[in-house]
C-alpha cells in the first residue's frame, strides 16, 4: 500500500444554510465551478464516514466547545464505505487556517485503531504515524463517535478552492466499530438544515464572493465531531448539545 502522506493547508469557513438556499447556490456553482470527480452521477455526492478519537477527559471536545483557537483532532475516514481505501488523519486548526495530514492505512491497522490499540502506528518509519502514536498513547485517546454525511463538492483547479455542501449529517450513536457498523444512523439536525463549507488557500475570485454574499447563511464555528455527540453524552459535567436553530 502506498504510504505517502498528504499535507494540506488552507483557510476554512463553515455556515449553516437551509435547503432552499442551497438549491439556489447549487445552480450558480454548477455554472462557475467543477463538480468533484468522485461524486456519484446519480446524486452528485459521495458519502464520508469518519471515526473520531478523544481523551478520557474529552479534551478535544472541550477545546472545540471552549473556542480554543489552536487545536487538533484525529480520525479514520472512508469514502462510500470503501474499506479498500482507508485514511488516518490529523486535522489541526489555528484560527481559520486548517492543516491536514493524512496517510493510507491497512484494514488490519484500522481494526487495531478501532479497539484503541495504537501499537501498529510504530511498525514502520512513517514520521506522521509515529508522532500520532506518541500523542494517542500518552494521552489515552480512544474512539468516541462515528460521523457520517453526504458531500456535494465543487472546486476550481487552482488555489485549493472548494465549496462543499455537507448534507444529512448523522451519527451511529455509541456504535464505533467503523468496519462493522450494525446500528442505524440517527440524524443530527432537524430537517431543512445543512452545512456549507468554503475552503481556499488563495483569496476567492470576486465572482464567487458575489455569489456567496447573496446566499443567506449563518457563519458558525461548526464541528461535526461535536454535533454528532448530542445523543452520545458520557460526561455528567457537560451541557446538552443544542441544535443551532
User: Which pLDDT score, from 0 to 100, does residue 221 have?
Assistant: 82
CA of 199: how far to CAs of 24, 42, 165, 202, 240, in Å?
A: 19, 25, 12, 9, 30
Question: Measured between alpha carbons, how far is 167 from 148 in angstroms, rounded to an integer?
Answer: 9
What does the radius of gyration of the chain's CA atoms come to, in whole angstroms?
Answer: 18
Residues 6+ apart with CB under 8 A from 205: 156, 161
CA-nearest of 58, 48, 177 to 114 is 177
Which CATH number does the domain 6-227 belong to among 3.20.100.30, 3.60.21.10, 1.10.30.50, 3.40.50.720? 3.20.100.30
Residue boundaries of the structural domains of the chain = 6-227
Rounded to the nearest 10 degrees, what angle do helices 19-32 and 206-213 cross at? 160
pLDDT tens for the chain, 245 residues long, are 445 688 888 999 999 999 999 999 999 999 999 999 999 999 999 999 999 999 999 999 999 888 888 999 999 999 999 999 999 999 999 888 999 999 999 999 999 999 999 999 999 889 999 999 999 999 999 999 999 999 999 999 999 999 999 999 999 988 999 999 988 899 998 778 999 999 999 999 999 999 999 887 778 888 999 999 877 655 544 554 455 54
User: Which pLDDT score, from 0 to 100, does residue 217 have?
Assistant: 77
Q: Which residues does residue 72 pair with via DSSP β-bridges, in sequence order?
A: 92
Pull the grid cell for residue 242. Answer: 443544542
User: Which pLDDT score, from 0 to 100, does residue 233 have?
Assistant: 56
Q: What share of the chain is helix, strand, coil (3-state, %, to 5)?
A: 25, 35, 40
Helix or strand or coil: residue 108?
helix
Whether pTM > 0.75 for this model: the answer is: yes
Compute φ and ψ for 40, nearest 5 degrees: -65, 140
User: Which pLDDT score, from 0 to 100, does residue 50 have?
Assistant: 98
User: Which pLDDT score, from 0 to 100, does residue 168 have?
Assistant: 96
User: Which pLDDT score, from 0 to 100, does residue 163 have?
Assistant: 98
Amino acid at each position: 500500500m502506498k504510504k505517502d502522506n498528504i499535507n494540506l493547508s488552507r483557510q476554512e469557513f463553515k455556515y449553516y444554510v437551509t435547503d432552499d438556499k442551497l438549491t439556489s447556490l447549487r445552480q450558480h456553482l454548477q455554472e462557475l465551478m467543477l463538480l468533484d470527480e468522485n461524486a456519484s452521477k446519480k446524486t452528485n455526492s459521495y458519502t464520508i464516514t469518519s471515526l473520531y478519537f478523544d481523551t478520557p477527559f474529552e479534551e478535544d471536545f472541550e477545546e472545540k466547545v471552549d473556542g480554543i483557537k489552536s487545536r487538533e483532532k484525529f480520525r479514520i475516514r472512508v469514502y462510500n464505505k470503501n474499506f479498500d481505501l482507508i485514511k488516518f488523519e490529523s486535522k489541526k486548526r489555528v484560527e481559520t487556517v486548517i492543516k491536514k495530514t493524512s496517510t493510507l492505512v491497512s484494514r488490519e491497522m484500522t481494526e487495531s485503531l478501532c479497539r484503541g490499540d495504537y501499537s501498529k502506528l510504530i511498525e514502520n518509519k512513517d514520521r506522521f504515524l509515529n508522532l500520532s502514536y506518541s500523542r494517542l498513547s500518552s494521552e489515552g485517546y480512544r474512539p468516541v463517535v462515528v460521523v457520517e454525511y453526504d458531500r456535494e463538492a465543487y472546486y476550481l483547479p487552482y488555489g485549493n478552492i472548494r465549496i462543499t455542501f455537507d448534507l444529512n449529517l448523522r451519527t451511529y450513536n455509541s456504535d464505533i466499530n467503523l468496519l462493522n457498523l450494525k446500528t442505524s444512523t440517527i440524524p443530527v439536525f432537524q430537517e431543512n438544515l445543512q452545512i456549507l463549507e468554503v475552503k481556499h488557500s488563495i483569496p476567492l475570485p470576486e465572482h464567487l464572493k458575489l455569489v456567496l454574499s447573496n446566499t443567506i447563511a449563518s457563519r458558525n464555528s461548526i464541528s461535526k465531531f461535536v454535533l454528532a455527540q448530542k445523543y452520545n453524552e458520557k460526561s455528567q459535567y457537560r451541557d446538552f448539545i443544542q441544535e443551532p436553530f
